[in-house]
Structure 1
Amino acid sequence: MLRAAAAERNKGPILAVLREYVGPGAVRVLEVGAGSGLHAVHCARALPHVLWQPSDVDPRALQRSLAGAQCAATHLPGCLAELGDMGWHPAWHPGPRHQHQHDAHLRAAVHGGPVQGSRSVAEAQSFVSPQPYAIGGRISPQSNVDFDCSLRQRNPAWGLRDTDLLQQLAEANGMCLERMVDMPANNKCLIFRKQ
């Protein structure tokens, strides 16, 4: 199974933020870039009224995810099997309301994929993204600068996303940046809400 130290470190703080934004009724959360699936399992256990849909473009994540293994082993009813890239998966494309529409969108790795994200973001009522960011064009501390450089060496289109750019993209999709929460290891959690 895949394991990720960052996912382990952030699962508690992410859950704390989500508790503030998911109501008591049934809620569907789509997690893009779920990787190991640790957030899906952790949140499905803690929030039994939430139906958690992890997804990832990496076939290794889909084959060896913690979400798939633990959900099957523990029979967590709120944790679905991981899906592939939400940018192409027909079950999650915008359209008439159906059983696959979600209320919230969690993306924990914007730096490693297209800035625009999946087409499904426009359907969500809220969008939560915990990770390091450039804020107003500036990256700090040095560990985040080094991380940004390593990402850009692997792929020039990657790198830490600037909160100003993400705010512009959110506004273009009818959302606004509601809050920025400090997270462990110099990360921030951005919460965008439908206007």
Structure 2
Amino acid sequence: MNIIHCAATRRSAMANKKLIYPAAERNKNPILSVLQQYIRRGPNQILLEIASGTGQHVTHFAPYFPHVTFYPSELEDRLLDSISAYSQEFQNIANPTKIDITTDYHTWPGNVFHEKSFDYIFNACLVHIAPFKCAEGLFKNTGQLLKTNGIFFMYGPYALNGLLYPESNINFDQNLRSQNPEWGIRDITELKKLGNMNGIQLFEMIDMPQNNKTLVWQKVDC
């Protein structure tokens, strides 16, 4: 077997590991437009993506920010394999890290997770399809890992002050809770409480397609 054939075989094997989430394909450009408003110019910036899913987001964003090193993460092995398959040719995407967001960042593998070490943290579509302890872990770790004035982006569907709309989001929430009573669309008021507990302030809510929002938070000195 020659070198060219070996390389082609490897590329084919990696391609077979790429998973596709249609929702990620639909929302990657609208999310990118938000990131472009907030990610600053300047070298040596780093972004941690919590719950990267398939890797479709990080590999879409990375070419637009060559000065930023992206650190994807996931819990499931099949998703970690998918992220690796998508990101293998990107110089500014690190190897994905296996992370359980309910655990303290000191226990995570790798030598990049230090207090106030990240300029940005990004998370999409986690807190409504996970127990609330995942939201608690997300905010606790984000509050410690973000640099002062660092930005935390959250994308997904949210309620506000006890109100959830439109009807499609109400139906979605009911469907989630029927699958697992610990799941469900979270209220921004609840999330703001978690933010306040961890030195993270919400300063912008951006309406997105398909009745979603991007919440933009900033780390402040307590």
Q: TM-score, normalised by structure 1?
A: 0.89
- Is 1:137 paired with 2:172? no
Contact map agreement 2:24 2:57 (CA 8 A) in 1: yes
- Is 1:107 paired with 2:132? no
Specify which structure has the higher proportion of helix. 2
SS at match of 1:116: helix
Partner of 1:162: 187
Map 1:37-186 to 2 at 5 A: 37-63=55-81, 65=82, 67-72=83-88, 75-87=89-101, 88=103, 89-91=108-110, 93-95=113-115, 101-108=117-124, 109-113=126-130, 114-118=134-138, 119-122=140-143, 123-124=145-146, 125-186=150-211
- Is 1:189 paired with 2:214? yes
Contact map agreement 2:47 2:70 (CA 8 A) in 1: yes
Between the aligned residues of both structures, percent identity stands at 36
CA distance in 2, matches of 1:6, 1:165: 25
Shift of 1:70: 2.6
Greater Rg by CA: 2
Contact map agreement 2:98 2:109 (CA 8 A) in 1: no
Aligned-residue Cα RMSD (Å) equals: 1.7
CA distance in 1, matches of 2:29, 2:179: 29
CA distance in 2, matches of 1:61, 1:42: 16
Q: TM-score, normalised by structure 2?
A: 0.78
Query: Which segment is superposed worse, 82-91 or 50-59?
Result: 82-91
SS at match of 1:133: coil
Amino acid at match of 1:120: N
Shift of 1:94: 4.5
1:19-67 deviation digits (Å, cap 9, x = unpaired):
121111232111111111111001111111111111111222112x1x3
1:71-96 deviation digits (Å, cap 9, x = unpaired):
21xx211112221125341446554x
SS at match of 2:135: coil
Select the residue among 4, 16, 19 that pairs with 2:33.
16
Could you list the runs of 5+ residues in structure 1 that have no partner in the other structure?
Answer: none
Cα separation, partners in 2 of 1:136 and 1:84, compared to 1, 3 Å = same
CA distance in 1, matches of 2:196, 2:109: 25
Equivalent pairs counted in the alignment come to 187
Contact map agreement 2:58 2:72 (CA 8 A) in 1: yes
Contact map agreement 1:94 1:120 (CA 8 A) in 2: no
